[in-house]
Each structure stands twice: as C-alpha cells, then as structure tokens.
Amino acid sequence: MAGPIETDVLVVGAGPTGLLAALSLAELGLAVEVIEEEWRPAGHSYALALHPRSLGVLAQLGVAQEAIAQGRKLESLTILTGAEPRATLRCAVLDERFPFLLALPQSALEGLLADRLAKKAIKVRWSHRLAGLETRGDTVTASVQRLEKESGGYAVARTEWAVGESLTFRARFVIGADGHRSLVRRQLGTSFDEVSPSQAFAIFECQAPGAGDEMRLVVDPDSVNALWPLPDGRARWSLELAGPEVSAADRFKSRLTTMLGEHFFPHLDEARTRELLHERAPWFEKGTVEIGWSIEVRFEHRLAAAFGRGRVWLAGDAAHLTGPAGMQSMNAGLAEAHDLAARMKRIRDGQAGLDLLDAYGRERLAEWSFLLGRRGGLRAGPSASEFVAKHAARILPCLPASGPELAPLAAQLGLEVDRG
C-alpha cells in the first residue's frame, strides 16, 4: 500500500472557491492537493458574475485579463418596478481598476483557474471523495476514497460508483470548499441551518442582443427578478416564483432543481415563463425571445454555525447560501479562499498562530450574519427615496457586492450600512 500523500494544504472541492484557494496557495509557495467527488466539472451553473473585488483577486493571480476578455463588462445596475426605473448605480465607485461587474459563466472561470493550476503542475483529483478527517498536533490526516464506475445489471444496464482505492493525505491545513453538501462541514459536526425562508426561481438564458451593458433588478411587491446580460448577445434571467412550500427533508439536500415543464411545479411551463417575463419586464424584447436552457431552483438561505476550527476551515457555499440575484455567495467565497491562503501561509512560516484562523471565522460569521439579515442591515438615510426605504431589506441580498464594496454601492441609494 502506498504511503500517505504529504502536502501543506488539502483543498476539498473544485468549484470556483476551491480552485481559487488552490491557486492562491500555490502562488504563495505552499504545496497543495485538490480533491473533488464529482468526476468532471459541472455543466450548467447559477453563478455568472464577478464583482470588482473578485477581479482584484484574479489580478493578483494573473488571470483577470483573460477573464475580462471572455466576459461582458456591466458598468451599472438599474433598479426598476415593471417599466419604471427607480435608481441607477454606477460600479465605478467600487474599484477604479475595475469599474464594472463582469458577466462570466462559472464554467469559464473554472476553466481559467484550472488552466493556471495546470501550468503549476497541480491537477484536480476528480472522483475522490473525503471519507474522514482527524487532527493530531499540527497535522490533519484525511481519508479519501477514489471512486470508479462499475457497470452491471442483466437486461437493463446500470452504472454505479464504487470505491476503487483508499488514500491517505497528511496536511497542515484543510480548506472545505465543497459546496452546500460539504463533507468537510459534516466532519466538523457543524450545523447548517436555514436562517430565513427559501426562494424559488425560474432561471433561463435567452438571446437578447438589445439587453445593454447593465444589470437590471426588477423589484415588484411580490418578487425580485434579475437580468444579467452575457457575452455573445445572450442574457440570463432569474424570475422569483411563488412556489409551494416543501420541507428541507423532502428536497435533495439543500437545493431542488427541475427542468421547466416537469411535474414539481406543474403550473409553470414555457408559456407561463414568457407570461411572467412580460408582466415583470415589459421593456424586455417585445418581439420573440428564444429561450435556451432553463431550470427551476429553490435557493436556501443557510449559514454554518462556525466557519471551522483548528486547522480545518470552510469557504464559499460550504458555509453560506443565499439567493442568485447579487451573486454574493460565490464572490464572497473567492475572497474567503484568498484570505485563508494568506493566513495559512503566515502560520506555516511561523509569523502567526492558529488564532489568526479563529479571527477569520469570527469575521466571516459576522459578515454573513449581516448579509443574511440576522444582524443589522441597510438603513435608509435622509436621501433615500420612499421606494428604497421600503424595500431596503429586500435590496440587500440583491446588490452585487459584499464586504468593503457594499457601503459605497448602497450609498448611491441613500442607504447606510448597519452591521449590528
């Protein structure tokens, strides 16, 4: 049997957060291994926009310009009710280097990060599932199962996954970036409770050559809907639905997805989707809209009770979930991954102790308690309109910003940040 695989950091999960964590660690000179339970990258994804702060992180890692070349710059955000504009926010106040949001599908971002890692001879170990974690002293030992396809069946063929090999990794640290079903979080025994009611959305892409170069947020009395223009004359819509209540125990883990027209929401089909679009955004493509792939998703609002302990820490969707409008969870996850890498580097080099990671956990828990409405919120200042003041709590999770970027964006609406 082969001996344990030694590394500075084991990253569990190969989505954007995990890949960026690995690249940040490698750029700092740390040895890193990446494992992922899935056998290949995801096809469709919900995340598709980078905040200016994320572009700043990518610039430090040498991939920002490639990302910008593949994406679409969105220089502003307009909030509407139906066809009535309420406010327009300019992204230039956030970062003078990147005065725009970048519409870029998650799959494209993952490709850029994976290519950069490959140039550093770091490859993702696909079909590798975390089975256990044990910390002793300054080492975390991870038990990992390499999965392989096993075909069988008589008359009707079937393919299942079986454990082909058991591996042992020994690392100074572990980063759990393995999404909402995080095995790292489960190994920590950390709860992941809903902090507010979930939301259902119809998400679809369509041809929209006249969508313009701005994000649009349609805030109606009963729904919040987001339009993200994409490269190549396309656009992505997220239309909030008043779907039937389904308990978390009856759903597939944290999110339930079904294709439009299937039976979970039998009242919703393509005709109904078009009707909703015309009701909420009458200004959008008054002619025929060609709808491409479409999916229905229930987004949970969840927060981990803690972001980790000792030498095992969480980042991204493994620790928090929110709605799709502002793309907050993925972008915050990228910042968390980059931050964790820098802290782990300092600890490895003897410049700091594990209390530096404890501080990370406190800071992230406070930030997400704010973003998810558990502590503080946005408060209307003297210049806020009646509409903005009324909908401040609904606007917060829809703003394409978090951390230090949030206050200057909210200030354009006359809103003040109160972190409680």
pLDDT digits (tens, 9 = 90+) for 162-212: 888 999 999 999 999 999 999 999 999 999 999 998 888 888 888 887 788
Look at residue 11 and tell me whether its pLDDT is greater than 80: yes
Quote the pLDDT of residue 208: 84
Other beta carbons less than 10 A from residue 292's beta carbon: 11
What is the rounded end-to-end Cα distance, in angstroms, of the chain?
A: 54
The residue with greater pLDDT, 299 or 41, is 299
> Tell me: the pLDDT tens digits for 92-126?
988 889 999 999 988 999 999 999 999 999 999 99
Is residue 330 over pLDDT 70?
A: yes
Spatial distance between the Cα atoms of 141 and 355, rounded to a whole number of angstroms: 21
For residues 204-230, give the mean pLDDT.
90
Nearest Cα to 216, choosing from 401, 79, 72, 47?
79
Q: What pLDDT, on a 0 to 100 scale, did the predictor assign at position 120?
A: 96
| Whole-number pLDDT of residue 284 | 85
Q: How confident is the model at residue 152 (pLDDT cuts 50, 70, 90)?
A: low
- Non-local (6+) Cβ contacts of 131 within 8 A are 143, 144, 145, 166
- Neighbouring CB atoms inside 10 A of 381's CB total 14
Whether residue 263 is predicted with pLDDT greater than 50 in this model: the reply is no
Q: What percent of the chain has pLDDT over 70?
A: 88
The closest of 175, 181, 141 to 37, measured between CA atoms, is: 181
Answer whether residue 287 shows pLDDT above 60: no
Decide which of 206 and 312 is more confident.
312
Place of tokens 């656009």: 235
In this model, does residue 155 exceed pLDDT 60? no
- Checking if the pLDDT of 294 tops 90, the result is no
Q: Distance (Å, rounded) from C-alpha 3 to C-alpha 6? A: 9
**What is the C-alpha to C-alpha distance for residues 311 and 136, in angstroms, rounded to an integer?**
10
Q: How confident is the model at residue 309 (pLDDT cuts 50, 70, 90)?
A: very high
H or E segment and range at residue 166: strand 158-176
Distance CA 3, CA 12 (A): 20
Which whole number is the average pLDDT over 302-320? 98
